[in-house]
Amino acid sequence: MLIRKPSDIEPSEITDRALYQNRRAFIKSAGAAALTAGLPGWFAAEAAIPGKIALPPIRKSAYSTNEPLNSLKDITGYINFYEFGTDKYSPAVLAKSLRTRPWTVRVSGEVKRPKTFEVDELIKLAPLEERTYRLRCVEAWSMVIPWIGYPIAELIKRLEPTGNAKYVEFTTLHDPDQMPGQRAFFGSLDWPYVEGLRMDEAMHPLAILGFGLYGEVLPNQNGAPVRVVVPWKYGFKSAKSIVGIRFVEKQPLNSWQKANSREYGFYSNVNPTVDHPRWSQATERRIGDFFKRKTLMFNGYAEQVAHLYAGMDLRKYY
Residues 6+ apart with CB under 8 A from 74: 143, 287, 288
Instruction: Check residue 53 and give its pLDDT.
Output: 80
Q: Confirm if 299 and 137 have CB atoms less than 8 A apart.
A: no
> Tens of pLDDT along 179-193?
999 987 555 689 999
User: Which residue positions in the chain have pLDDT lower than 50?
Assistant: 1-51
Instruction: Check residue 166 and give its pLDDT.
Output: 98
Residues 6+ apart with CB under 8 A from 139: 80, 279
Please count the other Cβ atoms lying within 10 Å of the Cβ belonging to residue 219. 28
Q: Single out the residue of 249, 217, 252, 219 nearest to residue 237, CA to CA.
A: 252
Q: Single out the residue of 228, 188, 224 nearest to residue 204, CA to CA.
A: 228
The amino acid occupying position 26 is: F
CATH class for the domain made up of 6-269: alpha beta
Alpha-carbon distance of 216 to 65, in angstroms, equals 20
Alpha helices in 56-163 (DSSP H): 72-77, 90-94, 119-123, 152-159
Q: How many residues does the chain have?
A: 318
The amino acid occupying position 85 is: G
E strands, 67-176, in order: 104-109, 115-118, 128-136, 141-151, 167-172
> Tens of pLDDT along 225-243?
999 999 999 999 999 999 9
The residues spanned by each domain of the chain are: 6-269
Q: Single out the residue of 183, 287, 182 nearest to residue 241, CA to CA.
A: 182
Helix, strand, coil percent content, the chain, rounded in steps of 5: 30, 25, 45
Alpha-carbon distance of 83 to 171, in angstroms, equals 13
Instruction: Check residue 297 and give its pLDDT.
Output: 98
**Element housing 285 (H / E):** strand 283-286
| DSSP state letter for 54 | P
